[in-house]
Amino acid sequence: MNTQTKTHVDNIFSIDRQLQNDAFFALIAATDKSVDWAYEVWDKLLESLTHKDNHVRAIAAQVLCNLAKSDPENRMLKDLDALIAVTKDERFVTARHTMQSLWKVGTAGAPQRARLLDGLERRFYECVAEKNCALIRFDILQSLRNVYDTTKDEAVRVKALALIEIEADPKYRKKCAALWKVK
């Protein structure tokens, strides 16, 4: 890892929000493609999913999702549950940013995709009693759409359509179904 990347990783923990945000954007851009330094930061990011600062939690989750493509050891298979746990964060914005990044894990390979599908399906059922259930469910279905658009894995489409069918509110069912119209 070069010095600049290391500085960005360190700046995730800055109390200066501008430094923190700049670090986030730089790390997201850097991890948009596979990198060879993923495991140099992996454990630190994983540990940061429970950091006291919700910005740190959100950044760590999003960068970890981006690092799924840089994971030849398949660590994500055992660490995905920790990421999904952040989708239940006390700060909804942190939970939502995490949820909206999870789809990237599903594009890293078939085993990751299968684990992600299981985790998102479980989350879809669990969120029924939560305040923002409709948004959570929509984000889950959007994540599945993103995975499908990238991988063309028919199992993803089948899972999404099955989840849409269990949505009790016809208004939300229609909105979610619109995600799956042919584009």
Given a cut of 60, whether residue 182 has pLDDT beyond it is: no
* pTM for this entry: 0.92
Q: Which CATH number fits the domain 3-178, given the four candidates 1.10.10.10, 1.25.10.10, 3.90.1010.10, 1.10.8.100? A: 1.25.10.10
What pLDDT sits at residue 170?
87
Given a cut of 70, whether residue 67 has pLDDT beyond it is: yes
User: What pLDDT, in 10s, does the model give residues 86-128?
Assistant: 999 999 999 999 999 999 999 999 999 999 999 999 999 999 9
User: What pLDDT, in 10s, does the model give residues 3-55?
Assistant: 999 999 999 999 999 999 999 999 999 999 999 999 999 999 999 999 999 99
- The ranges assigned to domains in the chain are 3-178
Range 151-177 average pLDDT = 91
Most distant CA pair in the chain: distance in Å? 53
